[in-house]
Amino acid sequence: MSDPTLTSEALDFGSFRPEYTAAVAAATAPILDKVKGVIPEIEWPAHAPYVAEIQRLKKERNAVVLAHNYMTPQIFHGVADLAGDSLALARMATEVDADVIVLCGVHFMAETAKILNPDKTVLIPDPKAGCSLASSITGADVRLLKERYPGVPVVSYVNTTADVKAETDVCCTSSNAVEVVESLGVDRVIFLPDQYLGKYVAAQTDVELILWQGQCEVHERFTGEEVRRYRDGHPGVVVLAHPECPPDVLQEADYVGSTSGMIQHVDDARPAKVVMITECSMSDNVAVNFPDVEFVRPCNLCPHMQRITLPKILRSLQTLEHEVVVEPELAARARSSVERMLQVGRGKKG
């Protein structure tokens, strides 16, 4: 790994602004060409110097940038080495050969990467990038539930803290939840913390689910009425929805799946018109790769995901901030529930 010490000049962010030079324009031209349908060309001089500098520093640091599908297009197409849904990010974190992982997503995703890679430096560009699901439950809450339902195994969504994962038998994501629940071979499980994902899973399995009252602050805002308005306003539109949406939304959808599941569905079905009922940055990212598909874009942004910006990613690479730290004993307990999930899904696409 390269020398992590930095000069005071590099740390001076008050004056440090990478410049848009002819060399930067030339180096980033292929990326601009790709994203110009979703990023106005006039904005590119503001993004390009950061893209170029991040690309250079990644090599110097032997760093890899993992990005969630909800990142803005300048991050997703400009600086990410690998991108995907939460399951894919967890898998990628076990496979990357780098000294530093910069996780462009929310805190629980970076924490999961750290749990799986105790010896690597895992950075999150903004440690305040939280998640309403992860903050809806604590390890102490799970211990109380286990006392109330002795012997009933706990399945937790990865959208949880290390503390909750440490109390969990097996984690799941939106792309493998039914499979994980059924892998336990029991009649009843405690399923945490997303009540809507839980209801969606319960409708597809005979296993009884004891639910928690958590929900995603972004997806809970969608309604079935809104989906019907999209159908009326855009005849023939194919509706894809994330399982964190309330049940009336999922009932109206043509396909329900994780963020990567939705992308895969667009790739397989190539609908003429599609609406993705999820965080709206994703439609821009996907539209870049499917120019023949018309995307209807509802705009619900995740305020936590939006905290991750190019200047913050650059700062992370320059200063090696903000390092995600998980106490080793806690990490070891949390790791077993994440690894158990990865075993269940082994060989499957995220």
Per rule CB under 6 A, is residue 217 in the interface with ligand SF4?
yes
Interface with ligand 13P (CB under 6 A), residue from 112, 117, 132, 174 = 174
Per rule CB under 6 A, is residue 85 in the interface with ligand 13P?
yes
Per rule CB under 6 A, is residue 284 in the interface with ligand 13P?
no
Interface with ligand SF4 (CB under 6 A), residue from 71, 218, 245, 293 = 218
Q: What is the DSSP string of 194-246?
A: BHHHHHHHHTT-SSEEEE--B--TTGGG--HHHHHHHHHHSTTPEEEE-TTS-
Least CB distance from residue 154 to ligand SF4, whole Å?
19
Per rule CB under 6 A, is residue 245 in the interface with ligand SF4?
no
Cβ-Cβ contacts under 8 Å for 347 (sequence gap 6 or more): none
Orientation of helix 107-116 relative to helix 86-95, angle to 10° = 30
Q: Which of ligand SF4, ligand 13P, none does residue 217 bind (CB under 5 to 8 Å by kind)? A: ligand SF4
Nearer to ligand 13P, 61 or 242 (CB): 242
Per rule CB under 6 A, is residue 159 in the interface with ligand 13P?
yes
Per rule CB under 6 A, is residue 279 in the interface with ligand SF4?
yes
Chain residues 77-136 in contact with ligand SF4, contact rule CB under 6 A: 106, 131-133
Per rule CB under 6 A, is residue 72 in the interface with ligand 13P?
no
Q: Which stretch binds ligand 13P (CB under 6 A): 37-45, 84-92, 233-241, 328-336?
A: 84-92
Q: Please tell me the distance from the alpha carbon of residue 86 to that of residue 186, in angstroms, as a whole number.
A: 25
Least CB distance from residue 71 to ligand SF4, whole Å?
11
Q: Please tell me the distance from the alpha carbon of residue 119 to that of residue 103, in angstroms, as a whole number.
A: 15
CB under 8 A, 24+ apart: contacts of 252-257: 252/224, 252/227, 252/228, 253/227, 253/277, 256/200, 257/174, 257/175
Q: What is the DSSP string of 11-65?
A: H-TTT------HHHHHHHHHHHHHHTTTS-GGGHHHHHHHHHHHHHHHHHHTEEE
SS3 318: helix
Element (H, E) at 294: strand 294-296
Least CB distance from residue 303 to ligand 13P, whole Å?
12
Least CB distance from residue 50 to ligand SF4, whole Å?
23
Least CB distance from residue 30 to ligand 13P, whole Å?
27
Binding interface with ligand 13P (CB under 6 A): 69, 85-87, 159, 173-174, 216, 242, 244, 258-259
Binding interface with ligand SF4 (CB under 6 A): 106, 131-133, 159, 216-219, 244, 279, 302, 304-305
